[in-house]
């Protein structure tokens, strides 16, 4: 049985840690609050290319449930794919606008992911992605939308969630990823993650701008050494 008061105290301490950490970093980012147009351009270009790839996948060859799975899910992680992520984010922001609610996006990457491939191979990289996907799946609600945004990035839509609440979710995910142990040829290793937080409408008014802000925040986390949560 879980001690309710102890659990609440733990969550409170985690929230205080995230809040204080973000408070220290915000002054450093005052010049970036308008957003980086280069990142937004990358987001739009990636969306265009991902749409072209999806159209060339050859869904005609698949049948029944395979069609739905191929259209909606990433085959490695079995989270939603990029196309579904964008579609669901658009729908969620439309709902948020209609009902004057907030929604947040987390963008996550495994730190030094290329080094894992060089040291252990692509199969181990895929194994890491599957474990990280399971951590994300088990750390989010049924209404949340966990996705593989790109080959090395996960995107998570958090409906009806402000930036502080999203940072708390992100910190929980970060800690759980860091606690995982992987094994390759009798060698154990662990990984860390950098997570960026962006909120609608506080940080951006449009879906692609929200994605861009979350990527900017994630890259700020990486630039500061990784293994951390970052929000504007």
Q: What is the pLDDT of residue 30?
A: 41
Q: What's CA 163's distance to the chain center, in Å?
A: 14
Residue 100's φ and ψ, nearest 5 degrees, are 50, 55
Cα(209)–Cα(221) distance, integer angstroms: 18
Mean pLDDT of 8-37: 56
Radius of gyration of the CA atoms of the chain, in A: 18
Q: What is the pLDDT of residue 108?
A: 98
Mean pLDDT of 88-95: 98
4 or 42: which leads in pLDDT: 42
pLDDT score of 59 more than 60: no
Mean pLDDT of 9-16: 57
Q: How confident is the model over 200-226, as pLDDT tens digits?
A: 999 999 999 999 999 999 999 999 999
Q: What is the pLDDT of residue 14?
A: 61
Q: What is the dihedral of CA 196, 135, 145, 39, to 10 degrees?
A: 30
pLDDT score of 171 more than 50: yes
Mean pLDDT of 28-34: 47
| Residue spans of beta strands (DSSP E) within 61-135 | 103-110
Contact 212, 220 (CB under 8 A): no
pLDDT score of 12 more than 90: no
pLDDT score of 56 more than 90: no
Query: What are the structural domains of the chain?
Result: 4-231 (3.30.70.270)
- What pTM was estimated for this model as a whole? 0.79
Mean pLDDT of 191-202: 98
**pLDDT grade for 71, boundaries at 50, 70 and 90:** confident
Task: State the helix-helix crossing angle for 163-178 and 122-138, rounded to 10 degrees.
Answer: 130
Q: What is the pLDDT of residue 54?
A: 59
Q: Indicate the average pLDDT of the chain.
A: 85
């Amino acid at each position: 049985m879980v001690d309710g008061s102890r659990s609440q105290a733990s969550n409170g301490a985690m929230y205080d840690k995230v809040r204080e950490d973000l408070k220290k970093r915000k002054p450093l980012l005052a010049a970036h609050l308008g957003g980086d147009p280069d990142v937004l351009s990358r987001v739009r270009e990636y969306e265009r290319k991902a749409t072209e790839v999806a159209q060339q996948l050859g869904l005609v060859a698949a049948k029944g449930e395979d069609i739905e799975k191929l259209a909606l899910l990433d085959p490695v992680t079995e989270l939603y794919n990029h196309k579904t992520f964008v579609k669901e984010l658009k729908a969620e922001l439309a709902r948020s606008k209609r009902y004057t609610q907030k929604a947040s996006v987390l963008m996550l990457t495994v730190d030094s992911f290329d080094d894992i491939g060089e040291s252990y191979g692509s199969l181990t990289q895929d194994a890491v992605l599957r474990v990280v996907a399971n951590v994300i799946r088990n750390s989010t609600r049924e209404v949340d939308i966990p996705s593989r945004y790109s080959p090395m990035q996960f995107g998570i839509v958090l409906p009806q969630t402000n930036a502080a609440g999203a940072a708390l979710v992100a910190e929980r995910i970060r800690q759980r990823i860091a606690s995982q142990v992987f094994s390759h040829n009798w060698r154990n290793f662990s990984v860390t993650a950098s997570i960026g937080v962006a909120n609608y409408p506080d940080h951006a008014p449009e879906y692609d701008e929200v994605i861009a802000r979350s990527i900017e925040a994630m890259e700020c986390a990486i630039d500061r050494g990784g293994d951390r949560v970052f929000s504007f």
